[in-house]
Amino acid sequence: MSVENIVGQGGEHLVVHGLEWTAKELFTYPNEFIYWSIQIVMYPYMTGLVAGAFVLSSLYHVFGQQDLKTIARFSLVFSLALLPVAMMPLQFHLQQPLRGMNVMFTPHFTSAIAAFGIVFSTYAVIVLSEIWFVYRKFFVDQIEILKGKEGAVDRFKYYLYLLLSLGAFDTSDAAVAKDKKAVKILAGIGIPVACFLHGYAGFIFGSVKANALWMSPLMPVIFIMSAVVSGIALCMLTYIIIMEFKKWSAIIAKGKGDESVQVIAGAELDVITKTSRYLLGFLIAAITLELLDLIFRGYTAMKSWDILRSVMYGKDFIHIFVMQYGIGNLLPFIMLLVPGLSIRRVFFALIFVLFGVFMMRWNVVIGGQAFSLSFAGYMHYHMPIIPHNMETYKEGLFGALTVFATPFALFWVINKVTPSLEYK
Amino acid sequence: MKNHVLRPLWVVLAGIALLLVVRHFLVPSDFGVEEGGNFTYNYHRLSSIDDWKNFKVKYRGKQYCQECHEENVESLLDSPHEIIECENCHGPAIDHPDNPETLAIDTSRAQCLRCHTYLPYPTSQRSELPGINPQDHNPGENCVDCHNPHNPDLENM
Amino acid sequence: MSCSRRDFIKNTFKTTLASTLPLSAFKMLSPAEVKAYTGDSSIRWVFLVDTQKCVGCGLCVKACKKENEIPYDPPITRTWVERYVLMKNGQAHIESPYGGRDGYTETKIRENEIPPEQIAKGFFVPKLCNQCKKPACVQVCPVGATYQTQDGVVLVDRKWCIGCGYCIMACPYGMRFFHPIHKVAEKCTFCYHRIKNGMKTACVQNCPFGARRIGNLKDPNDPVTKVIMTERVSVLKDEYGTKPQVYYIGLDTNVR
């Protein structure tokens, strides 16, 4: 339908939200469009990365998995970089973005979205607190180092660290021990809160009885599992990239045969191999639940099954079975299990995993809107690629890319304040 | 040395306090659950209902037209078109004759075809309405060129 | 260290307590004290659609758009009329172009010629917001921007809605949409501004055939109530548990 430039009686440009990127087929209700598009796919994806990164960090702090020590600090800071980005897709999606804070002012707790807002704020507080306890000694040390310095950047950093220390200057062993204890407790609380967080994201969809694909009690659990998978995968991936960069820096500086290169490479492979075991565990859990949901639906064959089947086995077959289950689950599963794991193989496996989790979000959000409420028609989503107005930017490819790129930019900034990349 | 461990908590509490202060100014004072209602279905800004009650009425109904246009209305009431509202073709009266001074009449062929394209549907009253095949019966012409909408029976003209 | 553990239990307890503060504040500061007269509880609005009488003229859709200032050209609408043509071989043709705004002036459906002798049934189904007794759309609003009045109508607060679209996704009947100008959720209001002043809704008034009627379920002498109580009526999609308050005469199993 090419009615984008509808001009209203007052001459104002009328944009029917969703009209431009929705192609309708057969019988759909007049008001049906794909209202929840790419940004609603990004939202659980980004919050999943936050939760997953945090869980990975907590595995070290709570369960003392020493092999994870190096990656733990990094993933904690990275989850901080991801936190504000979790709000971005919502700000891009809301028709009234300036009213977004209303969720904090008058939360209607019967709505999963309102509850999610509160849970997410709690989670943000936990992550921030934990980082404070991890870095407090570092802040105080920096204050000492920067005390006499004169340069503008140094003065700024001095006052920044002063503020961040919250006036807690005691770096005695007793105080630091308290910090470590606090970290352990926060990390411990953080794991169930991260589960709660992603359970809620799943509940947002799973509780919508009007949507035949979303309505399922398994949704919260599926979301939790795939969130952890994506978080671990992203942390591992970023860790590999950074370690490879360090390795190549060492090679350029000292030559290939130098011992430091071997140390880096060895440590990297060790950490990655052990972390990938955890990844596999959650991957298995995620795929099991999704297959269970599918099999159950096919077996019980409720009223919606005919249209769902035509969507899943027909129109979305490639999205679901080839991209998500095949490339996103089965392939990395095999790649991680075959003996003789190498960094290169893990690298590609992780990219496939991240792709798979993204496709899972896509198949839930977009797939759930691929069929009409009438069960007698379809809607196709054509994601806007080249934006020509604010709406096609915000709810298009470039909006999604902006959201995806921001945590890396933020991490670069945050890492200057709370450095997390030293290696042993 | 005071226990520094609680410092983040103070920051959090300060944040919550700030939120409550901002909330006090930004949230309308009549926001809540109305008396006799429940949180699930009745949580809202109470004065919103007045916003809707005060929405402007546009369609006035036949009796409003009859006050001035008696002849036309009487003629209509004597014909099979008595079931049609004046405003169906003349558009909503709103504050006519003050605003708008005149109403634009829809005399298009499409308007009449809404009912009078014959559709052969066994279980619908539609098939009992007098109707034509728009492709055969004077295609492209306006029906009102021959049929008076206020008294459409050609024999009465 | 026991000192630290105790502090942590205190810490957690205080945080939990502190986070309940905003929750209780909503009730303490809440306008239960503001006893604004919000609605008449001696009325429960109910709607009756007679699909035998509907001829698919679409005058209701046109009237609704003009009465409620819904932009006329865009394909969104507060109410619509669906056309069903069911063939003898079991095939079903269903459509609602622009919600039936321009009426049904062609025998063709989606460019397909329909041979009249093969039509088993043909009819029209007007639809509008069911003003459900247990509206799923209200339940999922994260900010309390949509609500149910005491007399049963579900309304949207245009000044508070954040435009998240959750209510649109939650409605099993597809009644809601985003208003292209106000950029908030929008839906049929049973012409609340008219019915509160003794008038009928725009669609009821403008239907020449009496296919649409509105009444008060709490008034046993209301003609609409009498039909609902004494004749065979049905509702749409009652399996969702929303308890819709729009009743239909003459619904068919093929109706979506």
Report the chain C residue with the minimal C-alpha distance to residue A208: C170
The DSSP 8-state label assigned to residue A343 in this structure reads H
For tokens 């707790």, the residue is A109
Smallest CA-to-CA distance from B44 within C179, A118, C158 is with C158
Top-tier CATH class for C39-72+128-256: alpha beta
- pLDDT for residue A215: 95
| pLDDT at B73 > cutoff 60 | yes
User: CA-CA distance, A390 to A395, in Å (whole number)?
Assistant: 8
What average pLDDT does this structure show over B6-30?
A: 93
Tell me the pLDDT band of A1, cut-offs 50, 70 and 90.
very low
- B38 Cα to chain A: minimum distance (Å): 11
| pLDDT at A334 > cutoff 80 | yes
What average pLDDT does this structure show over B144-153?
A: 87
Q: Are strands B43-45 and A377-381 parallel, antiparallel or unpaired?
A: unpaired
Of A266-270, B110-114, C119-123, C226-230, the least confident: A266-270
User: CA-CA distance, A178 to A137, in Å (whole number)?
Assistant: 11
For tokens 């296919």, the residue is C211
- pTM given for the model: 0.89
Q: Name the residue with higher pLDDT: C18 or A357.
A: A357
With contact defined as beta carbons under 8 Å apart, do A94 and C164 qualify?
A: yes
What average pLDDT does this structure show over A166-179?
A: 89
Smallest CA-to-CA distance from C145 within A75, B28, B2, A208 is with B28
Tell me if chain B has a CB within 8 Å of the CB of C26.
yes
Residue A240 DSSP SS3: helix
What residue ranges do the domains of chain B occupy? 4-53, 62-156
What average pLDDT does this structure show over A385-400?
A: 93
For tokens 């020590």, the residue is A69
Closest by Cβ to A125, choosing from B12, B23, B43: B12
What average pLDDT does this structure show over B132-140?
A: 93
With contact defined as beta carbons under 8 Å apart, do A183 and A61 qualify?
A: yes
User: CA-CA distance, B64 to B82, in Å (whole number)?
Assistant: 15
- pLDDT for residue B1: 44
| pLDDT at A109 > cutoff 50 | yes
The angle at the Cα of A366, spanning A360 to A370, to the nearest 5 degrees, equals 125
Closest by Cβ to A210, choosing from C74, C94, C171: C171
- CA pseudo-torsion sign C220, C222, C225, C231: positive
Q: How far is CA A399 from CA A37, A255, B66, C63, in A?
A: 11, 43, 57, 39
User: CA-CA distance, A184 to A278, in Å (whole number)?
Assistant: 20
- A137 Cα to chain B: minimum distance (Å): 12
Chain C residue numbers touching A35 (CB-CB < 8 A): 165, 168-169, 178
Spell C132-152 as b/e; 16+ CB within 10 A means b. beebbbbbbbbbbbbbbbbbb
% pLDDT > 90, chain B: 78
Tokens of A112: 């999963």
| Positions of chain C with pLDDT under 50 | 1-2, 20-22, 24-38
Tell me the pLDDT tens digit for each residue of A17-45.
999 999 999 999 999 999 999 999 999 99
A14 belongs to a structural domain: no
- pLDDT for residue C29: 38
Chain B residue numbers touching A179 (CB-CB < 8 A): 5
| pLDDT at A422 > cutoff 70 | no
- pLDDT for residue C25: 40
Q: Name the residue with higher pLDDT: A166 or C55.
A: C55
Tell me if chain C has a CB within 8 Å of the CB of B114.
yes
Closest by Cβ to A105, choosing from B4, B11, B23: B23
- pLDDT for residue A255: 76
User: CA-CA distance, C184 to C162, in Å (whole number)?
Assistant: 7
Smallest CA-to-CA distance from A51 within A227, A288, A186 is with A227
Residue A24 DSSP SS3: strand
ipTM of the modeled complex: 0.91
**Which value, to the nearest 10 degrees, does the dihedral of the CA atoms of residues C94, C97, C103, C109 take?**
-50
Chain B residue numbers touching A128 (CB-CB < 8 A): 8
Test B7 with A166 for CB contact under 8 angstroms. yes
- CA pseudo-torsion sign A290, A292, A295, A296: negative
- pLDDT for residue C1: 46
The DSSP 8-state label assigned to residue B101 in this structure reads S
Chain C residue numbers touching A209 (CB-CB < 8 A): 136, 170, 172, 240-241
Q: Are strands C154-156 and A22-26 parallel, antiparallel or unpaired?
A: unpaired
**CATH code for position A76:** 1.20.1630.10
User: CA-CA distance, A213 to A219, in Å (whole number)?
Assistant: 10
User: CA-CA distance, B37 to C81, in Å (whole number)?
Assistant: 33
With contact defined as beta carbons under 8 Å apart, do A110 and C144 qualify?
A: no
The radius of gyration of chain A's CA atoms, rounded to the nearest angstrom, is: 24
Q: Is the peptide bond before B97 cis (omega within 30 degrees of 0)?
A: yes
A4 belongs to a structural domain: no
Smallest CA-to-CA distance from A185 within B37, C16, B5 is with B5
What is A271-335 written as a DSSP string?
Answer: HHHHHHHHHHHHHHHHHHHHHHHHHHHHHH--TTHHHHHIIIIIITHIIIIIIIIIIIIIHHHHH
Tokens of B99: 């605003």
Q: How far is CA B21 from CA B45, B47, C190, in A?
A: 19, 22, 38
With contact defined as beta carbons under 8 Å apart, do A237 and A52 qualify?
A: no
Tell me the pLDDT tens digit for each residue of A322-333.
999 999 999 999
Test A181 with C176 for CB contact under 8 angstroms. no
User: CA-CA distance, B145 to B108, in Å (whole number)?
Assistant: 10
| pLDDT at A256 > cutoff 90 | no
With contact defined as beta carbons under 8 Å apart, do C80 and C127 qualify?
A: yes
Give me the number of domains chain A comprises.
1
The DSSP 8-state label assigned to residue C127 in this structure reads E
The angle at the Cα of A215, spanning A209 to A221, to the nearest 5 degrees, equals 140
Q: Judging by beta carbons within 10 Å of its beta carbon (0-12, 13-18, 19+), is residue A224 exposed, middle or buried?
A: buried
What average pLDDT does this structure show over B26-54?
A: 94
What average pLDDT does this structure show over A190-216?
A: 91
- Other Cβ atoms closer than 10 A to A321: 16
For tokens 């130098």, the residue is A258
Tokens of A63: 């369960």
Smallest CA-to-CA distance from A424 within A304, A289, A302, A271 is with A271
Tell me if chain A has a CB within 8 Å of the CB of C13.
no
User: CA-CA distance, A306 to A302, in Å (whole number)?
Assistant: 8
Of A45-54, A254-263, B130-139, C155-164, the least confident: A254-263
The radius of gyration of chain B's CA atoms, rounded to the nearest angstrom, is: 30
Q: Which domain holds residue A131?
A: 22-417
Residue spans of alpha helices (H) in chain B: 7-26, 39-42, 48-53, 62-66, 70-77, 86-90, 109-116
